[in-house]
Amino acid sequence: MNITLRVWRQAGPSDQGRFETYRVSDISAEMSFLEMLDVLNERLTLEDVEPIAFDSDCREGICGTCGVMINGRAHGPQAATATCQLHMRSFSDGDTITVEPWRAAAFEIIRDLMVDRAAFDRIIEAGGFITVATGAAPEANLTPVPKDTSETAFDAAACIGCGACVAVCPNSAAQLFTAAKISHLNLLPQGSAERYSRTERMVDTMEQFFGSCTNHGECEAACPKEISIDFIAMMNRDYVKAKIQKRRGG
């Protein structure tokens, strides 16, 4: 395959940035998209050109660090697929492919295709954990969990925190990410004790960095793990309950 890449290049957060065009030849259709970028970077290095900076880690669709916009779509043209799982066979010989970083005020561009997703970390730090008294905590497997509940919690826990939901949202909202991280803990017995305080802390922290959800639904469509926006409704319900409890002094 021979393709043309239009790649966003930006030296740092204060740099204006611009698109640069690269022609990449003799690419195997069986390569992943990131492997294709690796090949291009090897050639750029040999030509004494600064390679393209992009995030990746596991390359198995698990960690979520690989996300970029490809031809205007988060992670590219294939549904339920992270960028690292996207293969070049999804494109045609001679295609021109535009590659950009996530575009959101909360995701500052570090360099080229790399963005700072530390705002997600602040949300997790606010309540994305279960507090237990050490030394006397029972074995987790001794607590029965209904099958439907465990499966729903697992669906929420599938979120890899890539940021695609934020990148495609017209408001740069992070409700889908936050709702998934809240729900997979709130649904389980081990996390139910802090259900409302957790929801309040995490939502209040989210709102410091991201826009508000107006139910466009693009987050669900772009999510590589197909997280349902139903979790946003669950989060909103618990957030209202948390505020009512707090007002009543509960």
User: Going residue by residue through the chain (250 aa), what tens digit of pLDDT does each one get?
Assistant: 999 999 999 999 999 999 999 999 999 999 999 999 999 999 999 999 999 999 999 999 999 999 999 999 999 999 999 999 999 999 999 999 999 999 999 999 999 999 999 999 999 999 999 987 767 667 767 888 999 999 999 999 999 999 999 999 999 999 999 999 999 999 999 899 999 999 999 999 999 999 999 999 999 999 999 999 999 999 999 999 999 988 887 5
Residue 143: what pLDDT?
83
DSSP letter at 69? Answer: E
Q: Which two tokens stand for residue 113?
A: 């295709």
Torsion sign across C-alpha atoms 125, 131, 134, 140: negative
Residue 248: what pLDDT?
81
Torsion sign across C-alpha atoms 38, 42, 44, 45: positive
Other Cβ atoms closer than 10 A to 242: 20
User: Which residue reads 């707090």 in tokens?
Assistant: 246
Other Cβ atoms closer than 10 A to 212: 11
Residue 131: what pLDDT?
87
Instruction: Note if the pTM is more than 0.85.
Output: yes
The DSSP line for 53-75 is: P---SS-SSSS-TT--EETTEET
Residue 33: what pLDDT?
98
Residue 139: what pLDDT?
74
Other Cβ atoms closer than 10 A to 17: 15
Straight-line distance from the first to the last Cα atom of the chain, in angstroms, rounded to the nearest whole number: 63
Separation between Cα atoms, residue 248 and residue 244, nearest integer Å: 6
Q: Which domains does the chain have, with CATH numbers?
A: 3-111 (3.10.20.30), 117-244 (1.10.1060.10)
Q: Which two tokens stand for residue 156?
A: 């929420």
Within 8 A by CB and 6+ apart from 176, the residues are 159, 165, 219, 220, 223, 227, 229, 231, 232
Q: Which two tokens stand for residue 142?
A: 């001794």
Separation between Cα atoms, residue 114 and residue 66, nearest integer Å: 9
Separation between Cα atoms, residue 148 and residue 160, nearest integer Å: 22
